[in-house]
Chains A and B, each alone.
Chain A
Amino acid sequence: MKLKYLAIVAAATLSFSACKDYLVEAPQDFFTPANFPSTEADLKIALGGMDDWYTGGANQAYYIRGWPMISEVPSEQTILINNTTDSKYEQDTYTYNSTNEWLFRTWAQMYGAIGQANLVIPRIPTMVGVPQDVKDRYLGAFKFHRALNHFNAVRVWGDVPLMTEPITDFATANAVTRTPAAQVYAAIAQDLEDAVKLLPAKWPDSATPDDGRPTRGAAGTMLADVYANMSGVVINQNKWAQAAAAAKAVIDSKAYSLVPDFSQLWLVKNKNGPEHIYSIQFQGLIRNLFTTQSRPSGIGVESGSNYWCSTPEFMDTFLDVDLRKKPTFLTQVTVGTSTFFYDTRGTVKGFGDKSPRFARPLPYYGKFYDNGGQSIALNSGRSDLNWPVYRYAETLLLHAEAENEANGPAAAYASINAVRARAGLPALAGLTQAQFRDAVRQERSWELAFESKRLFDLKRWGLYAQVIGADPVSRIGWKSTNMWAAIPQHELDINSALKQNPGY
């Protein structure tokens, strides 16, 4: 054998065996939990990523429309116009079962957000070289998000898995059971008590208190809301004093004020204004779909999906002098030179006469109509309007309600009357505690209409069965067990230790 051939063989064979690290795998285009987040800039994009769970367009879920689909549509104040038996109809009429898409889509995104928070929360205290104030506000922000999502889940489903640790192995995680609602609430309250201390009133680089990032005011308002829910019939713990204190702290911070003209509050150009405490941000290509689906069709370039309406019965509860009535309900639209009416006035078809299953013409949502001057058709039927999670009017009403429940009406009038004054309604005075309770409940119904508040208010007030059970649309499929929505079948299929709510 010739020596030179031997050399070729040897060289060819050995050239690769020599590299010891030949098979080592190093990430090229992603971070790992071992190296991320490590800096303030990392924290910023990790917090930014939370938005994707709320507004990520892939499944149109959560705040694009999944959340109101399971929290507003089932209420008696919103109804679906047509009666095609699809997943929307199921939510409206309580004919859904555990495979309803809006239940699992929204559930998945709530827990995605919780999972992301759980990855970051234990890591922040261990980060080196990041100033303490930066660590504090990000820690507060992630705790806020964890609380918000648990809070949303526990109000829809009742007992839900309480997730507070990063997932280490799926075998353990797959066997999780549902945590009693009271325990979930306790964890939510703890996260928010922490967040109130950790979060700034306003982020240092922000011009307005609300820029889509959680603040002390947002955490405080949600805390008041959480304590109010814990004090309701479901959990039945008396936390009214804590609720009042949490709301009072936000009021006393003087960071927020009511927008004088209620109708101006709902304009795209006034997003993140002085009254907004925490809003899910929509603009550009990430737009809100739910709010535009309460638009009539047949009105030219402003036509919408014609899905949601409110009811004439609800509109009738508004006093005519109430300055909120007109902005809350859409009863006429002028597009170009044509004016369309919600009832049969005029000759133009297509608005208000397409609800054969209802005796009276239906008003549409007025609150969410504005689209910043851009026609809805050009925005592909979607809206740049933010979704209001908390605004200052609710802080005031939470304070009024909690103060009244804890100590009687005396110190509660100022808060409710501020809201009423803006609506052009006379100030309240001289009510009993029970009268005040009724008044604040009525005020919430008017002020917060279509903002995904009503259903949960009814639940905590103990009026759920009475009101929803009497609603002609809900009654199509409603049973008292519908108080708690069906746990998504996907979860039960994988984890048999997870038990379904009764009635599904």
Chain B
Amino acid sequence: MKLSKLYIVAVTALATMPLASQAQNALGGTIQGVVRSETAPVEGVSVTVSGTSLGALTRADGRYIIANVPAGRRSVRAQRIGFTLRELPVTVVAGQSGTLDIDMKASAVSLDQVVVVGYGTQTRREVSGAVSSVNNSDIASMPVPRVDEALSGLVSGVQVQTTNSQPGSELRIRVRGGNSLNGNNEPLIVVDGVIGADLNQINPNDIESVDVLKDASSTAIYGARAANGVILVTTKRGAPGPVHFDYVGYTGWQNVSKHIDLLTAPQFALLYMRNPNHDKSITFDTLTSASLPTTDWQNAVYQQAPMQNHEVRVSGSNGGTSVMASATLFQQSGIVQQSNFDRGTLRFNLDQNMGTKVKLGTRVTYSHSVNNATRVNDGYGTAGGPVTQMALRYAPTLPVFTADGGYTAPLLPAQTFDNPLAIVNLLQNKSTRDYLLGNLFADIELANQLNFRSSVSYTSNDGLQQRYTSALLRAALGSGQANVDNSTGTTFLSENTLTLRRSYGRNDFTILGGMTAQEFKAASSGSQGIGFTSDLLGYNRINLATTVTASSNSSRERLLSYLSRLNYGYAGKYLFTATIRTDGASKFAVNNKWAVFPSFGAAWRVSDEEFFTKHFKGISELKLRISTGTTGSEGITAYQSLAAWAIGSPYDIGLTRLNNGANPSRNSNPNLKWETTQQTNAGFDMGLFDNRVSLTFDTYKKTTRDLLYAKLVPYYTGYSSYVTNIGSVQNKGTEIGIDTRNHVRAVDVRLGGNISWNRSKVLDLGGDKEFTLDGVNTSLPTFRPAAIVRIGEPLGNYYGYIWDGIFQSAAEAAASGQAGAVAGGMKLHDVTGDGKITADDRVILGNAQPKYTFGQSGQLGWRAFSLSYVLRGVQGVSVVNLNRQGMETPGDNVNQMPDVLNYWTPTNPTNTMTGLGIAPFNGMTSRWVEDGSFVRLQNVTLGWEVPQSVAARINMSNLRVYGSAQNLKTWTNYSWYDPEASSRGTSDLQLGWDDSSYPGVRTFTLGLNVSF
């Protein structure tokens, strides 16, 4: 399978080899010149000859040269992001070379910039919806494996959160907050028109631009999957001009961004012995324990981890062909030993004109990635613990290894803990992924301004996960365990659209109509081997196990859609957009398979009105926008409307073990349907001072109805939940983006910023007032329910008791009406005032959704030097630090926070720490809720362009070196590693629980870009 995919990529590459040796056109002339802005040369400007496919990119000295231009009067276009487009006439004489120098004007917003809007493109001038764009040049120097990670802090209304810093982990992205209760609030990813592509498998530097569709007018063309916003990713096509080669590479180092201070071994031993209830099988001699050496388990498992990226790229155009091909190797080690993410990608993008009426193209990428993960957010309780938990809790008095070289066992034999280094070394969890995304499209001009576009794409996503747990680890249940799981997924997408453009006088129409069909098939199989007689072969030979069981799964989903869009403009001033998409999905119930998603948007370019230009001279651009529409969200996996008996539970008949037991797993819901989000948006785009300053403002209100949710039901029904459409959630917010371009003497200054407020509110829960959520992925089952969804409140609320200090006496404890109360124990607040602590005393303790987020970025250019930075802030958010819950029992047998040294005694009547041997209250309390607000210096990059004269001497047309730092500094009051960590995943309801998360990572890189 893997080989065949490589073969496809290789063959397509070979088929275009003639590109490099195009026949020379002896009849043409040459155009050359220098592109400058305020006397400084501008690199990377695309200079093209209109009506031909000829063109070139300017080099670092601003110079370009276009050969073989057919003689006659020609029009030359020069464009680059950040500059106003120029179009100049030139006369070309056969056999001669003419000079055309071009002067370009910097602008914060370029009205002629192409914006990808879904099934088409528009210029920024024409857009009537809320669409934000990020160009490759803004993010190219960031050492990130995924393009969306680089968007962090750059786009208003978009929150990008690293909830798990382990290499290869998913990100959490929200466009204008989360609508859905069911968990999937991730935006729709569309790569070169292919819906649902995986950004983990796409080389970020292959990407030319990212456009984020935010309001309903722009997203509704994606109908049933657009409610969470749409991120349109466009990969690079062949650059104008002759073929050139680039090398892009960087190498870097990652470090743990923070070290948690804990008790030293002498402190630990002393408190342990002072704890009257300590386990007597272990004794420390308090006289000599002061000299006990301390093992820092964090240092034992965390490391300085390298990362590197190497990329070779071929890009160019000639005749009717343009091509971009790249090969990239990305390698990232994790700061926890033995974790890493390696990925190789190949890309081949081809555009070919077949005569004047037909254009063909392909976008093909193949990626192979290997992810070795360590045990994080998993293995809680009796399974030995996540490595990140054990690195903090394992007793500091123990050495890493025993005298005979084995891993030191936990302090007490009954402790269900694994030695942190043993977890790292004895547990393998390797995921291999082969990903092919191929897209073939044709654009046919059927008649004047009537185009038919047909696109067929195929995605293949094959995964292999291999896990091995040595018998020496708790999770292996004493016998060594291997799991080998295969998965294969294919997506077939066919899209056919017709686009008609017509102008009647000052009336401009663009009409789009089309239909698409998509099919997803998934199958997986897994085998589990238990009882390995040796660790030597690991998961490679599961036959070694005494018991092997297997399982398999299969599913299919289909979507069928019809879409249409009308753009109408009058005199370029009054712009209207109307869209309708009708979607049918197999996974919804018989009664509700189809839904219609309409939208409408209007914009008024006020600055094109005569009265305006007369009176508001400083305002170079003003466009008012308004839109409304509905979009949908699927939110569930296939078959959720059907009742099910699941197969595969183990049972015994006498001494015979059978593994095909059946259990009812789901009740039917014949009315299951889409979630529907109604969104209204109003905003404006403003350009000031000749567009050197651009300002974008949007305010919106989204209301989502028919929420898909696995609603909890009483256990006495025999089920724990069922998927249904209940209730409604609202998101309201405001976004402001600002961008400026300026020159201060010789320094080119670009400053930008954005700020976004979003607040979600639950409007209706299908008759309920509230419901609580069971925690997942945690060592603390008694912390359920600890999250609550309640009408009138935002999503992501923490729920529990208010901590009211420490019981100072046995009498106070006895009178408290609190179960298990003792002197020196945690005192809870009696909210109801009924004299006892009951479930009714629980209240909302905080929220995981920030009040507002902001980003501020800057780019400074001076001669050959450039400096850029991104600063990012998240404010008004709280985090539950469950780590402390297990590490604040003074004198306990796991390592503790240093603040336990101030333990309560009758003579030390503190209200902040319990007494010796007294654990915190066994349930959720305000004690663990911390302020998670922060400001982070996300990226700083300093670059130097090696002078042309030097570069040319070593046969390079371009040479740039840079140093970059990612996550350099975070200002926060949060006491643990990283306030963005979320151990219970990315869902909006379970966000913000930090229970032994992977530490935050700081990265330094050195990079090199070379062009030949």
Contacts and interface: CB of A to CB of B under 8 A. Distances in A.
A380 B515 contact: no
Interface stretch (A95-103, A398-406, A422-430, A439-447): A95-103
Interface in B879-921: 918-919
A49 B649 contact: yes
Given A22-B517, A29-B553, A52-B651, A167 B478 contact: no
A16 B560 contact: yes
A23 interface: yes
Given A30-B647, A31-B645, A490-B785, A12 B496 contact: yes
Determine chain A's interface SS by DSSP, over half rule: loop
A298 B530 CA distance: 28
Contact of A23 (B450, B585, B658): B585
A31 B479 contact: no
A452 to B, nearest CB: 20
A30 B820 contact: no
Contact of A84 (B650, B655, B919): B919
Given A30-B645, A104-B715, A5 B444 contact: yes
A62 to B, nearest CB: 12
B414 A30 contact: no
B413 A382 contact: no
Given A16-B494, A29-B553, A115 B647 contact: no
A484 interface: no
Contacts of B782: 86-87, 99-101
A123 to B, nearest CB: 11
A82 B277 contact: yes
Interface in A343-397: 349-350, 353-354, 356-357, 377-382
Interface string A48-65: 111111011000100000
A68 interface: no
B530 to A, nearest CB: 6
A321 interface: no
A467 interface: no
B647 A305 contact: no
Interface in A1-55: 1-2, 5-6, 8-9, 12-13, 15-17, 22-25, 27-34, 36-37, 42, 45-46, 48-53, 55
Contacts of B667: 167, 170
A23 B585 CA distance: 6
Interface in A189-221: 205-208, 211-213
A48 B661 contact: yes
Given A37-B662, A111-B715, A491-B716, A29 B554 contact: yes
A272 interface: yes
A161 B474 contact: no
Contacts of A1: 446-447, 450
Nearest to B562: A17
A211 B654 CA distance: 4
A30 B639 contact: yes
A23 B718 contact: no
B919 A173 contact: no
B123 interface: no
| Residue from A12, A15, A377 whose CB has the most chain B CB atoms within 10 Å | A12
Contact of A174 (B479, B586, B651, B713): B713
Contacts of A303: 413-414
B653 A211 contact: yes
Interface string B812-825: 00000001100001
A285 B477 contact: yes
B960 interface: no
Contact of A5 (B446, B655, B712): B446
B593 A285 contact: no
Contact of B642 (A5, A27, A118): A27
A113 B554 CA distance: 27
A315 interface: no
Contact of B919 (A45, A85, A118): A85
A128 interface: no
Interface size class of B (residues with CB under 8 A): 35 or more
Contacts of B452: 5, 8-9
Interface string B825-841: 10000000000001100
A323 interface: no
B356 to A, nearest CB: 13
Interface string B34-48: 000000000000000
Given A87-B922, A281-B654, A350 B717 contact: no
Given A25-B586, A31-B645, A349-B281, A112 B444 contact: no
A357 B474 CA distance: 30
Given A95-B819, A101-B781, A489-B839, A272 B714 contact: no
A74 interface: no
A13 B653 contact: no
Contacts of A381: 478
Contact of B279 (A82, A87, A100): A82
Given A32-B645, A82-B279, A85-B922, A22 B560 contact: yes
Contact of A283 (B554, B657, B663): B657
A112 to B, nearest CB: 5
A441 B479 CA distance: 43
Given A25-B638, A85-B820, A108 B715 contact: yes
Contacts of A90: 819-820, 922
B189 interface: no
A55 B558 CA distance: 38
Given A303-B413, A493-B771, A32 B642 contact: yes
B279 to A, nearest CB: 7
B839 A99 contact: yes
A222 interface: no
Contacts of B585: 23
A495 B714 contact: yes
A356 B654 contact: no
A242 B84 CA distance: 97
A175 to B, nearest CB: 10
Nearest to A504: B838
A256 B722 CA distance: 45
A336 interface: no
B718 A30 contact: no
A176 B714 contact: yes
A96 B587 CA distance: 44
B660 interface: yes
Nearest to A33: B643
A60 B651 CA distance: 15
Interface string B583-613: 0111100000100000000000000000000
Contacts of B555: 28-29
Contacts of B664: 33, 115-116, 119
Contacts of A278: none
Interface of B: 276-277, 279-281, 382, 412-414, 444, 446-447, 450, 452, 454, 474, 476-479, 494, 496, 498, 515, 517, 530, 547, 552-556, 558, 560, 584-587, 593, 638-639, 641-647, 649-655, 657-658, 660-665, 667-668, 711-720, 722, 724, 771-772, 774, 781-782, 784-785, 819-820, 825, 838-839, 918-919, 922-923
Interface of A: 1-2, 5-6, 8-9, 12-13, 15-17, 22-25, 27-34, 36-37, 42, 45-46, 48-53, 55-56, 60, 82-87, 90, 93, 95-101, 104, 107-108, 111-116, 118-119, 160-161, 163, 167, 170, 173-174, 176, 205-208, 211-213, 271-272, 281-286, 297-298, 303-306, 349-350, 353-354, 356-357, 377-382, 477, 488-495, 498, 504
24 contacts: A9-B446, A30-B665, A31-B647, A32-B642, A45-B662, A48-B653, A48-B661, A51-B661, A52-B651, A60-B382, A86-B919, A95-B819, A112-B718, A163-B718, A167-B717, A170-B722, A176-B716, A211-B653, A212-B651, A212-B654, A297-B414, A356-B276, A382-B477, A490-B715
Given A1-B447, A29-B554, A49-B651, 14 more contacts: A28-B555, A45-B647, A45-B660, A48-B658, A48-B660, A50-B661, A82-B279, A85-B922, A93-B820, A96-B819, A163-B716, A272-B654, A303-B413, A489-B839
